[in-house]
Chains A and B, each alone.
Chain A
Amino acid sequence: AQSVSQHNHHVILSEAASLELGCNYSYGGTVNLFWYVQYPGQHLQLLLKYFSGDPLVKGIKGFEAEFIKSKFSFNLRKPSVQWSDTAEYFCAVNARDTDKLIFGTGTRLQVFP
């Protein structure tokens, strides 16, 4: 069965610090990969996605993620976080032939000024 692991449940950073959130998945076939973000009181929205091509994907608000197929990983990065990045971040994966997403348990990021 497919699964998604997010290793960091709660991350606390100061503004300007660098961010890397881990995501690993288990699935033997071809996948699409996503990072979603949920800001406090807001709905879940797409941060970035990987379907094919360049494994380094750039998303909104300065976020990027790198797909490493050999490691089944899709880690999220940002070189310098801001207070407004405080949110919950979810990694998700689906098999190429389906729209059904499997989500990780989420990482809560708190950024202090």
Chain B
Amino acid sequence: DVKVTQSSRYLVKRTGEKVFLECVQDMDHENMFWYRQDPGLGLRLIYFSYDVKMKEKGDIPEGYSVSREKKERFSLILESASTNQTSMYLCASSQRGEQFFGPGTRLTVL
């Protein structure tokens, strides 16, 4: 079974803090994705990566950056957290079309 793990299920941070969300997959997938999930808005793509050290902006990249130093690990960085970044963050990996999701990190920014 494909396993996608995320470093935290719940996280509380203060406005202005730098926040790191980590995601690791164990199936040697080339493609990895970060989404945020908000009620009524579905999943919106923040960033994705098709290869190590490669990244592409998704639909809502503002206020975020990513890092992919190793194939299995894809990190989402909030450079200076703001209250409007309070959300559920989902990581996924994929190969040949189907995406597999991690459990999500519910981030609250106070």
Contact = CB atoms under 8 A, between A and B. Distances in A.
A44 B101 contact: yes
Nearest to B42: A105
Given A43-B101, A43-B103, A44-B101, A99 B42 contact: no
Given A34-B98, A99-B97, A105 B45 contact: no
Chain A interface main SS type: loop
Nearest to B4: A43
Chain B interface main SS type: strand
Interface residues of B, number: 24
B43 interface: yes
Contacts of B103: 42-43
Interface residues of A, number: 21
B104 A43 contact: yes
Interface of B: 31, 33, 35, 40-45, 48, 50, 58, 90, 94-104
Interface of A: 6, 9, 32, 34, 36, 42-46, 49, 51, 90, 94, 99-101, 103-106
